[in-house]
Amino acid sequence: MIKVLVVDDEENIRLLYREELEDEGYAVTVAANAKEALEAFRSTPFDMIVLDIKMPDMDGIELLRIIKEENKDIPVVLCSAYGRYKQDFRIWACDAYVVKSADLDELKLTLRQVLSA
Amino acid sequence: MIDDHLGLEILKEISRIASSTLDLDETLEQIIQIIKNKMRIDAIYLAEDPGNLLHLRASSGLPLEASGQVKLELGKGVTGWVAEHKCSLALPEAMQDPRFVLFPEIQEERFSSMLSVPILFDEACIGVINVHTLDRREFSAVETAIVETIANQVAGALRNALLFHNSQRLLKEQTILYDIGLAVQTTLKLEHGLWVILSGITMGEAGGFNRAMLFLLNEKNHSLDGEMGIGPDSEEDASRIWAEWGKKKVDLLNWIMVEADKDEFKHSRFNRFVRSLSFPLVGEGNILTETALQKQPFVVSDPHQHPLVTREFIETLGVEAFATVPLIAHETALGVILVDNRYNHRPITQEQLRLLTRFTTHASWVIENTRLFGKLLDTNQELLSTKEQLIEKEKLAALGVVSAELAHEIRNPLVSIGGFARRLEDKLRKVSAEHTGIEDLEKATEYSNIIHTEVNRLEQLLKNILLYSQAGALNLEEASINEIIDETISIFKSGLYGKNINVNYEKCDNLPALFIDRQKIRQVFINLFYNAMDSMPEGGELSIETRTQPESHPPDHVTVRIEDTGGGIPQEAFQNIFNPFFTTKSSGTGLGLSICRKIVESHGGTIHIVNNIGSGITIFIHLPLQKPADYYKN
């Protein structure tokens, strides 16, 4: 089973993503902040990470940098309510960027594309 | 004829005149009286300017009508020869002399002998005194010397009177120019200033022309357009006006100020006639346009012989002899003044022309000052409106920042609400598939569907708000506007077809590539096409056209015209169409057009809408060909 780590500071979003992605057949682990995320990332090998950008302790962009420094091969998908980070040069290392929506079809499609790339 | 005694007496009389009066006409008159009474001098010729024509100014024993009429060219006839060679000539047999030319109006053929003496001053001949005798006789050296001495005295007296006359004339001229200058400065309206100057040109005591017409350069139409005409409407009118002016012994300045305020001049037939005239600057030139183009004055004494004057021109303006002077400021021609003496038929004198030039200098500066003042007002107005626009922009920017933050804060809970509503709906559908016929279950499915549909709508609204607040950030690349329109049309193809809307696309084939943000410009067309489609629910015509502007080379921007047949927008709504959150649609965010404007303006372009109530609206988008300035990018 494909193992996905979902990092988001909002509990409801975590729940929604977990359920939706599990329905798609992924094994989902969730983390509520950067600290939890790094602990999970360093203890378990994941096939893919979905990162929220705006989080209280460390933002997803910084987390992306740390993750890619430690394992540049792991695909990371940024998923944010903000569209404007698309133009931020610091996200160059991410594999895809999805703007959050209640319709999760785009996210699901993106995950499939990133995995098959 | 003249002995020593008479000679002395004449000299005494002439010196008495010289010390008693300085008036030119009076001096001349008195000299003539002495000549008539004391000696048989027959004619005295004077040249107004040395080296110019000699006018017969006084005579005795010659026909009366000859005085003032006879003009001799330098070197022509005995008198002309004397003036040219500046030496006396005594001819016992005048008519036998090869230099003799018969002027019938003087009736010189009655005389046998003739003594002609130049009136010299400072090496210049300012006139000639002629003595004729009926009987043939020799003139003695003494006689010649006496007449020469008289001529010298006459020269002195005349010279003094001439100098005085000139200085008086200059003084008067200065006073008039001063008065007119003051009047011009006091009036604020351009037309009043111009009226004062044209009046000066035509007033008897100043320029003295019968009519003056002012033409101004129209840069837009490349033509000389009639601006003002001062002068009587007709011959009868002319004599009435001059009679009135003659009676008026009022202060010129006061008179000007009072008359200018009456604005009566505007209604004169002549003024209206001049204002109806226009002469193109390109193509076949005429004397007016040549005056402006060459920045040269012209004096036309016989218009029928002048190469730049057509018969049509003569007939239209009703001119005989006339003069044209350019109005020049900062070495640029602003217009032309044409003057003539249509009613009293007086020839145009050098003095009139000199004064005219001074008036035109005044007129040029009046026009130039008004132009600059107008420019200043415009610039001021522009600054004010720019300031207002800036404030408006700042407000909008602030609104943008607030709404962007708000939108993000709302988006996360919306994702949860919408996402779970979908899940709920899915789950309910599964349950109701297993347990059919449970009414509440079906209702619950429907309700959750409503929730997620409404969330979709809210998300769309947020997307628009975010788009609006982020329209400034451009991702510029070289792109073809035709291609973007083609793409947009193909997106809309089925929708337009379904609504029975015909698309008519006039594509300019050699359109240069633009530096634009492809996605954002496409968004503009998407929004505009949506609007057009919504305005034509019963079908209609959507016309799109691309072209370069100006169409002559090199173009500086590309224009896209989008026209629908949706009936236009009610006037009160039209004023608000670019305002964010304003909409005439029952559903819609009211951001479509404001996003369009923001995107186009962030490209350094402009968008404007022509509202044809009853038929439809036409939208013009102008995008500059050069790359937008860097500051537009953020």
Strand partners, B324: B298, B338
Residue-level pLDDT at A6: 96
Residue A95 token pair: 């594999």
Residue-level pLDDT at B69: 64
d(CA B317, CA B271): 12
Residues of chain A neighbouring B415 (CB-CB closer than 8 A):
13, 16, 81, 100-102
Pairing relation of β-strands A76-80 and A48-51?
Answer: parallel
DSSP character for B264?
G
Residue-level pLDDT at A38: 94
Task: Tell me which of B416, B451, B455, B523 to substitute to probe the interface with A (most A C-beta atoms closer than 10 Å).
Answer: B416
Give the minimum alpha-carbon distance from B399 to chain A in angstroms, rounded to a whole number: 17
Q: For residues B490 and A17, which has the higher predicted lDDT (pLDDT)? A: A17
DSSP character for B632?
G
User: Which pLDDT band, with edges at 50, 70 and 90, does B451 fall under?
Assistant: very high
- Residue A16 · residue B421 · CB < 8 Å: no
Give the minimum alpha-carbon distance from A76 to chain B in angstroms, rounded to a whole number: 20
CA distances from B294 to A13, B283, B545 (A): 81, 15, 43
Residues of chain A neighbouring B419 (CB-CB closer than 8 A):
13, 16, 20, 102, 104
User: Which pLDDT band, with edges at 50, 70 and 90, does B378 fall under?
Assistant: confident
Residue-level pLDDT at B634: 35
Give the minimum alpha-carbon distance from A87 to chain B in angstroms, rounded to a whole number: 9
- Residue B616 reports pLDDT greater than 80: yes
CA distances from B480 to B45, B484, B485, B518, B623 (A): 85, 7, 9, 9, 12
**Which residues in B165-187 are b (16+ Cβ under 10 Å) and which e?**
beeeeeeebeebbebbbebbeeb
Task: Say what percent of chain A tops pLDDT 70.
Answer: 93
Q: B524-583 pLDDT, tens per residue?
A: 998 899 888 888 988 899 999 998 877 656 678 899 999 999 888 888 888 777 776 667
The residue of chain A with its CA nearest to that of B460 is A101
Give the minimum alpha-carbon distance from A82 to chain B in angstroms, rounded to a whole number: 7
Residue-level pLDDT at B52: 65
CB < 8 Å & 24+ apart, contacts of B78-82: B78/B114, B78/B116, B78/B130, B79/B43, B79/B45, B79/B54, B79/B116, B79/B128, B79/B130, B80/B54, B81/B116, B82/B116, B82/B117, B82/B118, B82/B125, B82/B128
- Residue B34 reports pLDDT greater than 70: yes
Mean pLDDT of chain B: 80
Residue ranges of chain B whose CB lies within 8 Å of a chain A CB: 408, 411-423, 452, 455-456, 459, 466, 470, 473, 475
Residues of chain A neighbouring B455 (CB-CB closer than 8 A):
102
> B108 CB contacts (<8 Å, ≥6 apart)?
B94, B95, B102, B114, B132
Pairing relation of β-strands B477-479 and B332-340?
Answer: unpaired
- Residue-wise DSSP of B281-335: SSSS--HHHHHHHHT--EEES-GGG-TT--HHHHHHHT-SSEEEEEEEETTEEEE
Peptide bond between residue B92 and the one before it cis (omega within 30 degrees of 0)? no
Nearest Cα neighbor of A64 from A5, A3, A108, A18 is A5
Alpha helical stretches, state H, B340-480: 350-434, 439-469
Q: Do B421 and A102 touch (CB under 8 A)?
A: yes
Residues of chain B neighbouring A82 (CB-CB closer than 8 A):
408
d(CA B170, CA B358): 12
- Residue B473 reports pLDDT greater than 90: no
- Residue-wise DSSP of chain A: --EEEEE-S-HHHHHHHHHHHHHTT-EEEEESSHHHHHHHHHHS--SEEEE-S--SSS-HHHHHHHHHHH-TTS-EEEEES-SGGGG-GGGGG-SEEEE--S-THHHHHHHHHHHH-
Q: Do B475 and A87 touch (CB under 8 A)?
A: yes
Nearest Cα neighbor of B292 from B231, B347, B227 is B227
- Residue B630 reports pLDDT greater than 50: no
Residue A100 token pair: 């959050």
d(CA B372, CA B389): 25
Q: Do A87 and B473 touch (CB under 8 A)?
A: yes
Q: For residues B123 and B35, which has the higher predicted lDDT (pLDDT)? A: B123
d(CA B362, CA B194): 9
Q: For residues B555 and B88, which has the higher predicted lDDT (pLDDT)? A: B88
Helix (H) or strand (E) segment spanning residue B622: strand B616-624
d(CA B632, CA B601): 9
Q: Do B455 and A100 touch (CB under 8 A)?
A: no
The residue of chain A with its CA nearest to that of B404 is A82
Nearest Cα neighbor of B208 from B173, B258, B163 is B173
Give the minimum alpha-carbon distance from A26 to chain B in angstroms, rounded to a whole number: 17
Burial of residue B617 (CB within 10 Å: 0-12, 13-18, 19+) is buried
d(CA B570, CA B617): 11
Nearest to B412 among A19, A81, A87 (CB): A81
The residue of chain B with its CA nearest to that of A17 is B419
d(CA B554, CA B510): 13
Cα B556-B560-B563 angle, rounded to 5 deg:
150
Residue B497 token pair: 């077809």
Give the minimum alpha-carbon distance from B512 to chain A in angstroms, rounded to a whole number: 28
- Residue-wise DSSP of B207-230: T--SEEEEEEEETTTTEEEEEEEE
Task: Tell me which of A85, A99, A100, A108 to substitute to probe the interface with B (most B C-beta atoms closer than 10 Å).
Answer: A100
Nearest Cα neighbor of B132 from B53, B44, B55 is B44
Q: Do A101 and B412 touch (CB under 8 A)?
A: no
Residues of chain A neighbouring B413 (CB-CB closer than 8 A):
12
**A66 contact B CB<8A:** no
Q: B251-297 pLDDT, tens per residue?
A: 666 776 677 667 777 788 888 999 999 988 887 778 888 898 888 88
The residue of chain A with its CA nearest to that of B474 is A87
Give the minimum alpha-carbon distance from B520 to chain A in angstroms, rounded to a whole number: 14
Residues of chain A neighbouring B422 (CB-CB closer than 8 A):
102-104
Phi, psi of B118 (to 5 degrees): -75, 145
Give the minimum alpha-carbon distance from B454 to chain A in angstroms, rounded to a whole number: 11
Q: Do B419 and A102 touch (CB under 8 A)?
A: yes
Task: Say what percent of chain B tops pLDDT 90.
Answer: 11
Residues of chain A neighbouring B417 (CB-CB closer than 8 A):
102
Average pLDDT on B582-594 reads 69
The residue of chain A with its CA nearest to that of B457 is A102
Average pLDDT on A81-91 reads 70
- Whether the predicted interface score ipTM is above 0.90: no
The domains found in chain A, sorted by start residue, are 3-116 (3.40.50.2300)
Residue A112 token pair: 């499939």
- Residue B618 reports pLDDT greater than 70: yes
Nearest to B417 among A82, A83, A102 (CB): A102
Nearest Cα neighbor of B337 from B282, B382, B299 is B299
DSSP character for B111?
-
Cα B606-B612-B614 angle, rounded to 5 deg:
150
Pairing relation of β-strands B211-218 and B332-340?
Answer: antiparallel
Out of A103-107, B15-19, B302-306, B556-560, pick the least confident. B15-19
Residues of chain A neighbouring B475 (CB-CB closer than 8 A):
87
d(CA B323, CA B340): 6
Residues 24-63 of A with CB under 8 A from B: 54
Neighbours of B238 (CB within 10 A): 17
Residues of chain A neighbouring B465 (CB-CB closer than 8 A):
none
Average pLDDT on A11-34 reads 94
Residue-level pLDDT at B632: 39
Q: Do B423 and A103 touch (CB under 8 A)?
A: no
Residues of chain B neighbouring A87 (CB-CB closer than 8 A):
473, 475
- Residue B580 · residue B593 · CB < 8 Å: no
- Count of pairs with CB atoms under 8 A, one residue in A, one in B: 53
- Residue A29 reports pLDDT greater than 80: yes
The residue of chain B with its CA nearest to that of A52 is B412
Reported residue count of chain A is 117
The residue of chain B with its CA nearest to that of A10 is B412
User: Which pLDDT band, with edges at 50, 70 and 90, does A66 fall under?
Assistant: very high
Q: For residues B61 and B508, which has the higher predicted lDDT (pLDDT)? A: B508
Give the minimum alpha-carbon distance from A12 to chain B in angstroms, rounded to a whole number: 6
- Most confident of the following: B103-107, B225-229, B241-245: B225-229
Q: Do A54 and B408 touch (CB under 8 A)?
A: yes
Out of B80-94, B119-133, B227-241, B306-320, pick the least confident. B227-241
Task: Tell me which of A11, A14, A84, A85 to substitute to probe the interface with B (most B C-beta atoms closer than 10 Å).
Answer: A84
Pairing relation of β-strands B501-506 and B540-549?
Answer: parallel
Q: Do B422 and A103 touch (CB under 8 A)?
A: yes
- Most confident of the following: B100-114, B168-182, B213-227: B213-227
Q: For residues B584 and B532, which has the higher predicted lDDT (pLDDT)? A: B532
**A87 contact B CB<8A:** yes
Give the minimum alpha-carbon distance from A73 to chain B in angstroms, rounded to a whole number: 29
Q: Do A102 and B456 touch (CB under 8 A)?
A: yes
Residue-level pLDDT at B553: 64
Neighbours of B452 (CB within 10 A): 19
Average pLDDT on B471-492 reads 82
**Alpha-carbon dihedral sign for residues B527, B531, B536, B542:** negative
Residues of chain B neighbouring A104 (CB-CB closer than 8 A):
419, 422
Reported residue count of chain B is 634
Q: Which amino acid is at B567?
A: G
Give the minimum alpha-carbon distance from A54 to chain B in angstroms, rounded to a whole number: 10
Q: For B33-79, give the secondary structure using H, E and C.
A: HHHHHHCCEEEEEEECCCCCCEEEEEECCCCHHHCCCCEECCCCHHH
The helix/strand/coil state of B341 is: coil
